[in-house]
Structure 1
Amino acid sequence: MAAGAPRIFVSHLSGIAVFDPAGDQVGRVRDLVVMLRVGQRPPRLLGLVVELATRRRIFLPMTRVTAIQSGQVITTGVLNVRRFEQRPTERLVFGELLDRRVTLTETGEEVSVLDLSVHQLPARREWEIDRVFVRKGRKGSAFRRAKGEALTVEWTAVTGFSLEEQGQGAESLLATFEQLRPADLANVLHHLSPKRRAEVAAALDDDRLADVLEELPEDDQIEILGKLKEERAADVLEAMDPDDAADLLGELPTDDQERLLRLMQPGDAADMRRLMSYEDRTAGGLMTTEPIVLRPDATVADALARVRNADLSPALAAQVYVCRPPDETPTGKYLGTVHFQRLLREPPPSLVSSILDSDLQPLDPEAELPAIAGFFATYDMVAAPVVDEAGSLLGAVTVDDVLDHMLPEDWRETEFHLDEEVATDGS
């Protein structure tokens, strides 16, 4: 960025692509690293936290940034791919500075930090924060946006960034990462401090938090759930996929399990207890209790309408299961499966019972993980029904749950096929 170029608000840098000189994308910006300085000197921008395709986060010094333009960052082409580790003197802009309550020096009024701007110093390859975008008025909450006059002030016009803050909000941080997929937002939370992680989790709505919890390592899940009020923890568990919620409940002490189950809706609690009765690495322990279940007299149009539900994962939407009533698991007699591709080839008025795949053997709830994986590999399936001895549909196992249990326990934090000691050169 040439000297004299306009300032850049950091919210505009969130998630933008980072390219080498050849035009190959190497990652995306996930945060900015600054160093607070004594007195009222503006913080120096040290570099960017860049997330590679492997989800590893590395540090990109600003001395290796040649341009920030048109929603992209251009680098010199040489990256050190060692994992980023924050030093005690460093602060993360998105993770620690946004949403802080600071004080206007002139009036003594408390304001909330919505955004910060950075600029490059003339004739030097050094960057610093120069202005702060703040909002006056009362602090917002997880469910109510704060109201009040918003204004941009010089860095020197505010104080309080260097102080430890209790009860920091998360409104601006969440706005910055609003478009992230749950897995990517989970990665953001994993790299925050425990204090900040709890604040962000408190600000997420139940459905969004449920989606994110499903993508977090087990330790983070337990930590976040433990910091929620019990009533809300029960609501979030209800919003999670039943198999994921049962796995999380199973990691809690028995007394905590029972308290949360008593706070849940009776039907959801019954599903949790049923799932928790199976061994972890069996079809019963891996299945979800909420597949698409249709009666024999349902039409192809009915099936397609159910498949269109945006809340379904692609694996669960890949097929429907036809059973005699009742329509919810455990059902009456399981009759067969209809695959999504077959639904697309049939006239909408056709009955699903006329196009059943009844030859495919369903999984036994006691089937163990190797047998389940072999079933998926043999028949090229992404989901499979789980049926008990009486012929009732209990649920369905999806391929993502199989992979979760076959990969190493720390797979969410491990990058594959990447050597920490090697730098890449795109020039």
Structure 2
Amino acid sequence: MGKLAGTSVFDPIGDAVGRISDAVVTLRFTSSPRVIGFVIEVATHRRVFLPITRVTAIKPGAVITTGLINIRQFSQRPGEATVFGELLDRVVMMNDQTGPVKVLDMAMEQDDERNWVVTHLYVRRQNSGLSLRRGETFLVSPEDVSGLAKQSAMSQEATTLLSMTEDLKAADFADLLADLPETRRNEVAHQLTNERLADILEELGEDDRVGILSSLDVRRAGDVLDAMQPDDAADLIAEMPPDQARILLAAMEPEEAADVRRLMAYGENTAGGMMTPSPVILPPDANVATLLAHVRREDIPPALAALIIVSRPPLEAPTGRYLGVVHIQRALREPPQTALGTIIDDALEGVDPNTSLGTITRLLATYNLTAIPVVDSSQHVLGAVSVDDVLDHLLPDDWRDADEGVTDETMNRSQDG
């Protein structure tokens, strides 16, 4: 079944519907798990449920459906488990008393009643003995093991899941993580690198990211917060209980914590509360080649890379006097040696840190901007508010989980098995 991950799903006329991101089974203690459908990622990067009864063919590199798909966000039900997210890497016990094995993959087949069931487990032995070899891999039947239907008290690895999803964008991985049960979600999160987890926390809903951060030890939580964008870290810390927030700030690097504290001093829906304190800031005598080198960095969000702030030194916020901005499109039309001071847009004024969300939204829309500088009363640059910062505050808190409607034929698992 692991080979199905990422497989394209097509409707009867050959149009792509989405890609398989997981398989859903019902776990039964007395018989083999039954496959009830797939979780597929559709064009909107939404993870939806595709009942196995709507699958007409499974071929190498393609799954064919009837074309009728419920686009309601996938929500796991009691008694169900996701294969890639939960069951792979699970340690179970062999019923022949030869010890624990780890589930690496599963195989499914149709039975006489045309139901899809898990028929084999591909496992790796976890211990060794007189006639056993640790690391040995082999096939067993689900009836040959116990513990598949219940997660053990021991922490479960996520090696297989992470290898299958290493190319997923942070937002897509966040959707996958949000679908997992809380215990498994925390297990997977703990096994991510600090940088990867920081990117994913920025994409998760409030409850999920607070839960994950709270499950980390204080030192690790501080390292993850250090790796986050300061405005996102400030938002997350503000969602924590006050005592815990103080502990987390103390665990951060002093410089990163100072940025976060400065942001938290402003109202949540003000320019100061939303701004990123580290936009691209260059002096007027820097040239276009230098500008391009700065915006090429991977840690610069696209919205901030489109607008470069020009100020007098020092260039760290709060900077010297704000002079204006250079738009990336203008810079791309100039020779590399062109000084930024000669192509500056000095008509764009910075906003006060107490400027309201509504005012910032109107300014971005009126002037077709992706970001706008934030300056203090002495025209020192404090940061910049980007359009994605504004959208995060304009959308409802649960926008990541909100349903987008359904197709003409509403389906659910109670109808389709």
**Unpaired segments of 5 or more residues in structure 2?**
128-132, 412-417
Cα distance in 1 for residues equivalent to 2:19 and 2:283: 47
In structure 2, the partner of 1:154 is 140
2:58 to 61, 68, 89: 68
1:23 aligns with 2:14: yes
Cα distance, 1:55 vs structure 2: 5.1
Query: Which TM-score applies when normalising by structure 1?
Result: 0.89
Cα distance, 1:349 vs structure 2: 1.5
Deviation per CA, 1:169-200, whole angstroms, max 9, x where unpaired? Answer: 21212222222111111111111111011101
Query: Which TM-score applies when normalising by structure 2?
Result: 0.91
1:207 to 195, 211, 226: 195
**Unpaired segments of 5 or more residues in structure 1?**
1-9, 139-146
Q: Map of 1:130-209 to 2, 5 A cutoff?
A: 130-137=119-126, 149=135, 151-155=137-141, 156-166=143-153, 167-209=155-197
For the 8 Å contact 1:81–1:421, the answer to whether it is kept is no
Say if 1:242 and 1:83 are closer, same or farther in 2 by CA, change over 3 A: closer
Q: Map of 1:388-399 to 2, 5 A cutoff?
A: 388-399=376-387
Cα distance, 1:38 vs structure 2: 4.2
Cα distance in 1 for residues equivalent to 2:6 and 2:218: 34
In structure 2, the partner of 1:144 is none
For the 8 Å contact 1:56–1:415, the answer to whether it is kept is no
Using the TM superposition, name which of 277-286 and 94-103 deviates more: 94-103
2:267 match: secondary structure? coil
1:343 aligns with 2:331: yes
In structure 1, the partner of 2:27 is 36
In structure 1, the partner of 2:117 is 128
Say if 1:420 and 1:408 are closer, same or farther in 2 by CA, change over 3 A: farther
Deviation per CA, 1:212-270, whole angstroms, max 9, x where unpaired? Answer: 00011111111111100011111111111111110111112222222111121111111
Cα distance in 2 for residues equivalent to 1:408 and 1:421: 26
Cα distance in 2 for residues equivalent to 1:150 and 1:133: 11
Q: Among the aligned pairs, what percent are the same residue?
A: 50
In structure 2, the partner of 1:330 is 318
For the 8 Å contact 2:324–2:349, the answer to whether it is kept is no
Question: What is the root-mean-square deviation in Å for CA atoms of aligned residues?
Answer: 2.2
Say if 1:64 and 1:347 are closer, same or farther in 2 by CA, change over 3 A: same
Cα distance, 1:114 vs structure 2: 2.0
Letter in 1 for 2:231: D
2:40 match: secondary structure? strand
1:34 match: secondary structure? strand
In structure 1, the partner of 2:213 is 225
1:409 match: secondary structure? coil
For the 8 Å contact 1:131–1:152, the answer to whether it is kept is no
In structure 2, the partner of 1:143 is none
Letter in 2 for 1:210: A
Deviation per CA, 1:255-314, whole angstroms, max 9, x where unpaired? Answer: 222211112111111101110011011111110011111122222111111111122211
Report the count of equivalent residues: 404
2:365 to 377, 386, 390: 377
2:400 match: secondary structure? helix
Say if 1:150 and 1:172 are closer, same or farther in 2 by CA, change over 3 A: farther
Letter in 1 for 2:81: R
Cα distance in 2 for residues equivalent to 1:47 and 1:339: 48
